[in-house]
Amino acid sequence: MVVSVHHYELAESASPSDFRDAVAEAVDRGLFEGVPGLVEHRIGRGIRGDRAGEFAAVWVYESREAWADVWGPAGDPVAKTEYPDDWLTWEDELLDPLLADDPDAIEYTSYELIAESGDE
């Protein structure tokens, strides 16, 4: 399983409400369901720590292979032109107008899980 954590920095012209509306629209349109291998997502706003008040998303993929099929292997990412159409809609239509920088330039890290609840 792979978990990718994406950090979103809003542009000064965008409000938290704008971001919430974009997420709601993406969910309503089923955009995240159109990403192969993506089995779960969580999007939230920080309540404590370095990113309090900022937004982040956790994207969960069924396997490293499924993640690599969509985004390319760890050292060789696919070109944006190869992204799933629904992800391009999420980034270009809904996120881009709200973020301080290009959606492809956000801070993120992808993790391959080594333990999870139930492994005891």
Q: The domain that contains 67 carries what CATH number?
A: 3.30.70.100
Name the residue among 1, 12, 3 with its Cα closest to residue 108.
3
Give the pLDDT score at 73.
94
Number of domains in the chain: 1
Name the residue among 41, 43, 42, 40 with its Cα closest to residue 16.
43
> Alpha helix locations (H) across 76-119?
85-88
Give the pLDDT score at 117.
81
The whole-number mean pLDDT for each consecutive block of 10 residues of the chain, a chain of 120 residues, reads 97 98 98 97 98 98 97 94 97 98 95 83
Give the pLDDT score at 93.
98
> Do 109 and 5 meet the contact criterion of CB atoms below 8 Å apart?
yes
Is residue 33 in some structural domain?
A: yes
Give the pLDDT score at 120.
64
Is residue 118 in some structural domain?
A: no
Is residue 117 in some structural domain?
A: no
For residue 93, the SS3 value is helix
Is residue 17 in some structural domain?
A: yes
Q: How far apart are CA 84 and CA 18, in angstroms?
A: 24
Burial (Cβ within 10 Å: 0-12, 13-18, ≥19) of residue 98:
buried
Put the strands of the sheet holding 55-61 in their side by side order. Answer: 38-45, 55-61, 2-8, 107-112
Is residue 84 in some structural domain?
A: yes
Domain region containing 92 = 2-112
